[in-house]
Structure 1
Amino acid sequence: MTTPHGTEQATEALENGFDNLIHAPVRLRICATLDHAREVEFSALLTLLDISKSALSKHISLLTDAGYVTQRRAVRDTRQRVWLRLTDTGRSAYRGHVAALHRIVGDPQG
């Protein structure tokens, strides 16, 4: 496997929607948050998820490497800020994963 979200996993995600990369609890919460917003500031995610900067950075890096999240840097209040958003690929993968979870638990919404 050459990437965190290898070809075999990507194919599986496309076939049944379940995505092992997104399924990790923190990454699932990141995607759920980003799905409902145009962008979210890194520090807002820190507060929401109540995890360390380094842990959040690692999860964001995995999602970015998979092409699921993009980052935008901007200055606000004289400080450099990082804003995150789901890509179209990330949004599709997240929604496919949620639908797969609904199917797994027998929920007709999936």
Structure 2
Amino acid sequence: MSAGHRDPLDGFDTTIHAPHRLRICALLEGAGEAEFALVQNQLGLSASALSKHVTVLMDADYVEQRKAVRDTRQRVWLRLTRQGRAAYQGHLAALRAIVEPADPAP
């Protein structure tokens, strides 16, 4: 690897790689922001399981939450942080580098 090129595998992120956390990041990447209950429903997780995964992502500064009252109920919305988006994109690049065939030699 030359000095100016980064190895795509450097982006592999074990925090994101766990299947449920990868799915959370994928959903938030596409949605921009999503209500906790929607993420829970989409992924088929219990509230406590989703909360544990979101906490791991928040501790890594990959996800942030916004709380507000809507329809007289406390609601929580989740979104990727700038750092989380970069980590998710880097992780996807690493996964592609792992599964895609290398360029054939000329």
Whose RCO is larger (CA < 8 A, sep 6+)? 2
- Segments of structure 1 that go 5 or more residues without pairing to the other structure are 1-13
Moved over 2 A (4+): none
2:59 paired residue number: 65
The alpha-carbon deviation at position 38 of structure 1 amounts to 2.0
Distance of aligned partners of 1:28 and 1:72 in 2 relative to their CA distance in 1, 3 Å threshold: same
The aligned length equals: 95
Contact 2:61 2:84 in 1 (8 A): yes
The alpha-carbon deviation at position 15 of structure 1 amounts to 6.7
- Out of 26, 33, 38, which is 1:39 matched to? 33
TM-score normalised to the size of structure 1?
0.82
Specify the SS of the correspondent of 1:36. helix
Measured against aligned partners, the alpha-carbon deviations of 1:60-103 in whole angstroms (never above 9, x if no partner) come to 00000000000000111110000000000000000000010000
Specify the SS of the correspondent of 1:33. helix
1:9 paired residue number: none
Give the Cα separation in 2 of the matches to 1:18 and 1:66.
14
Measured against aligned partners, the alpha-carbon deviations of 1:38-62 in whole angstroms (never above 9, x if no partner) come to 2100000110010111000000000
1:97 aligns with 2:88: no
- Out of 20, 34, 37, which is 1:26 matched to? 20
The alpha-carbon deviation at position 107 of structure 1 amounts to 5.7
Distance of aligned partners of 1:44 and 1:15 in 2 relative to their CA distance in 1, 3 Å threshold: same
Distance of aligned partners of 1:73 and 1:100 in 2 relative to their CA distance in 1, 3 Å threshold: same
Identity %: 61
1:79 paired residue number: 73
